[in-house]
Structures are given as structure tokens and as C-alpha cells.
């Protein structure tokens, strides 16, 4: 009787090789990569500009992205996101061109912004291209 459970346990141990195991640590060692404009906003922008994109004032002043006429120009948004402004850091080393294009497109069509002109690859030339394995 005891042989069968031992045999099953031995078979399961044989299958539990490192190749089948999860990565170490909680949730693995590779963080998820934000791909859509909404995911990128939540990952990089929301902490300062708030979930509703209305900005905030407190320890610093974070401008509203909601109903923002400056987002009407794709070049302005791309420049500020790439190079930073005031206390805002630059993101040209963190975002791929595709991520920047998705983020700007999202900002221009959400939070009360209604700019239909598409964001082109030329608009985000200031961003360095990340390795293709990241995006």
C-alpha cells in the first residue's frame, strides 16, 4: 500500500526540474512590460498626475493632463515626455518609441482630450529605441 504513494511522489519529484519551476521571488523576477497607452500611463504617469489626470498640488505641483490644450500638438507632448520639464523626469531612456506613441495617443484621446490626429513615428523620434525583447 505504501509503495503506490511513494511511486507517485517520486514521479512528481522527477518532473519538478528547474526548467519547469517558476522564477525566484514573488511573482517572478521579470516585471511586466506596459504596452498600451493606459498601462503606460498607470505605470509611469499616474503617481504624479493622478488617476483622473487632473494633476495635484502638495509637495510639488503636477500639471493636469485632463482637458489640456497643449496636448493638441503631438510634438509638444513628445518633447516633454522625452526630455522632462521642471520637476518631471525624462522618459526617453525608459520608453520605447512604440510605448511613447501609445502613451501620447492615449493622453490625446482620454481625460477630456479629444485630439483625433494620430501620433506618428516621426513624432516620437526623440525616444531611444529599446531592445525588441522589452516591447
Q: What is the mean pLDDT of residues 58-81?
A: 92
Instruction: Give dist(CA 90, CA 31) in Å, integer.
Output: 21
User: In the chain, what are the domain boundaries?
Assistant: 31-124
Res. 5: pLDDT tops 90: no
- Is residue 53 within 8 A of residue 70, CB to CB? The reply is no
pLDDT in tens, 23-49: 555 566 677 788 999 999 999 999 999
What letters, b where the CB count within 10 A reaches 16 and e where it falls short, cover 47-86?
ebbbeebeeeeeeeebbebbebeebeebeebbbbbbeeee
> What is the model's pLDDT at position 19?
52
Judged against a pLDDT cut of 50, whether residue 135 lies above it is answered with no
User: What class does CATH assign to 31-124?
Assistant: mainly alpha
Question: What confidence score (pLDDT) does residue 12 get?
Answer: 61
As a whole number, mean pLDDT of residues 118-126 equals 87
Percent of the chain with pLDDT over 90: 51
Residue 126 sits at φ, ψ, to 5 deg, of -70, -15
Greater confidence (31 vs 52) lies with 52
Bridge partners (DSSP) of residue 62 are: 56
pLDDT higher for 8 or 28?
8
pLDDT at position 111 over 90: yes
- How is residue 115 written as a grid cell? 485630439
Per-residue confidence band for 112, with pLDDT thresholds at 50, 70 and 90: very high
When pLDDT is averaged across residues 18-22 and rounded to a whole number, the result is 51
Amino acid at each position: 500500500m505504501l509503495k503506490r504513494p511513494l511511486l507517485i511522489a517520486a514521479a512528481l519529484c522527477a518532473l519538478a526540474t528547474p526548467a519547469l519551476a517558476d522564477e525566484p521571488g514573488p511573482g517572478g523576477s521579470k516585471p511586466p512590460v506596459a504596452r498600451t497607452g493606459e498601462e503606460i500611463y498607470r505605470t509611469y504617469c499616474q503617481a504624479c498626475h493622478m488617476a483622473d489626470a487632473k494633476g495635484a498640488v502638495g509637495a510639488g505641483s503636477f500639471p493636469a493632463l485632463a482637458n489640456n490644450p497643449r496636448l493638441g500638438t503631438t510634438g509638444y507632448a513628445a518633447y516633454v515626455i522625452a526630455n522632462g520639464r521642471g520637476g518631471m523626469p525624462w522618459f526617453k531612456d525608459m520608453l520605447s518609441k512604440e510605448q511613447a506613441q501609445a502613451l501620447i495617443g492615449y493622453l490625446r484621446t482620454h481625460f477630456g482630450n479629444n485630439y483625433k490626429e494620430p501620433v506618428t513615428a516621426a513624432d516620437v523620434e526623440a525616444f531611444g529605441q529599446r531592445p525588441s525583447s522589452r516591447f
